[in-house]
Chain A
Amino acid sequence: MRLAVPLTGASCPWDGQTGRHVVEAVEGAECRARVTPGWQWLAVLAVFGALLPSCAPKTASLAPRASASAPRDAEQRIVALVHDWFAVLEGGSHESRGLDGFVAEPSFELSLIGASVRNLGELESWRSNLRSTHPELEYRLDTIRVALVGEDLQRARFEFERRAVDDGGVPHLARREHSWLVRDVPGEAPVIVRIDERPLLAFQGTGPQIICY
């Protein structure tokens, strides 16, 4: 039996049916196990269970704790919001969907390169302009990092690459960094309060490098 231990303090609930730890999509966390049936299973588990309380297969820990799962749920909601936003911008099957449900009306601000958007009219105008100048759009998102910054407020930061083709068939590339402020009230859909956009050079994950002296 080989047991890979979690690298962080993330909880690793045990699935009794499959005999595996349930892996949660927490960045930097890893929790996997290969189980040999029989007495070895019990013996080794007993030893490691004592050493690794966060991964010990205790019956009491199977039920998710409300306080621990709430931030996790919030993170998933924000990440889903980001993905949905860009899916709508890409069009395709989301072509007919509006952006009005994404923003915190009436008070929101999108500080984008070349545009400052403060109301729904400006938002649809910006989207329409984007679609007309770039008929083909594709967004590639990097890791989205979410952090609680205030009561019912989450901050999402990520980089992305926008690949587009204009009317003349010329490809366009743009790399951007986004910082989103999202209002996330329990029981309601999260909405964007503010987006700040910053241009980046097209070197993934590096930004502008200083290398010459």
Chain B
Amino acid sequence: MKAKTIFLLSVFAMLLLPGIGQSSSEKTLPIHDGIGGEFRAQSSLGREVSLSEYRGKVVLIAFGYTSCQDICPATMAHLQLLLKRLDAAADAVQVLFVTVDPENDTAAHLEEYLARFDSRFVGLTGQREETDRIAELFLLNYDRSHDIQLTTEYNRSKAFAKRSYLYAHSQQIYLLDRVGRTRAFFFTGTPLDEMEGAVLALLKEPAAGPDVETAVVEWVVERDSASAD
């Protein structure tokens, strides 16, 4: 009986050992091969930007459109909360919002829209071909529904109200590491703890570019050490 108990305890300990000292945030996030890639597009900054411009930063990409009355504003608010939680580490994170409605979502309009959430967010627009290519890179599907009258106050105030339409689109948020590889997918309902853990895990990965903000990375490591103590 005693031998059996010892045996069972040993097995139990062996099962536990691999997990000791390893939190979920410390697991290496997989690289999702074949999803994402380099792109260029007009931006809410008033100039063209490319993904490689954000090399050294962790990038979160969301697709949507400013007339969206459903998930898009909730998604942006979710990302706004995430950046608040990240505090100083948010300086090493870039949120990109790619419109699926480039005809209406001009660079200036995106700037106005995104500033309501966080002025650090950057919106991407341009010619339909440009945004389509980004959507294709990220396996993003969308479809436009014509002849649907929108009735929000925001749209009534805009000249294009009478020719508005809805877009159906995939709504996952892509998490890219500091060299632009897709490492995880989130949704508006993904717990912020989980998202924060994944972002911090990527920030702690070895520096990948010359413009890595090492001070921020050190801050992340220090904060984690302090919380562990």
Contact = CB atoms under 8 A, between A and B. Distances in A.
Interface in A142-200: 162, 166, 169-174, 176, 199-200
B128 to A, nearest CB: 18
Given A199-B139, A200-B139, A202-B185, A210 B31 contact: no
A187 to B, nearest CB: 38
B28 A173 contact: no
Given A210-B142, A212-B64, A201 B30 contact: no
Contacts of A171: 28, 30-31
Query: Per DSSP, are chain A's interface residues mostly helix, strand or loop, or mixed?
Result: loop
A212 B71 CA distance: 6
Interface residues of A, number: 22
Contacts, number: 69
B143 A210 contact: yes
B144 to A, nearest CB: 11
A25 interface: no
B166 A213 contact: yes
Contact of B168 (A170, A173, A210): A210
A55 B71 CA distance: 52
Contact of A199 (B34, B142, B145): B34
Interface string B95-137: 0000000000000000000000000000000000000000000
A210 B71 CA distance: 12
Given A201-B139, A208-B141, A173 B170 contact: no
A114 B170 CA distance: 24
A208 B28 contact: no
A210 B185 contact: no
A182 B37 CA distance: 32
A113 interface: yes
B25 to A, nearest CB: 16
Contacts of A172: 30-33
Given A170-B28, A174-B34, A212-B68, A201 B185 contact: yes
Nearest to A200: B139
B153 interface: no
Most buried by A among B33, B70, B167, B185: B33
A173 B141 contact: no
B167 A213 contact: yes
Given A210-B168, A213-B166, A213-B168, A173 B68 contact: no
A139 to B, nearest CB: 13
Given A172-B31, A208-B139, A213-B68, 12 more contacts: A171-B30, A172-B32, A174-B34, A176-B34, A201-B172, A201-B185, A202-B32, A203-B185, A210-B141, A212-B64, A212-B68, A213-B145
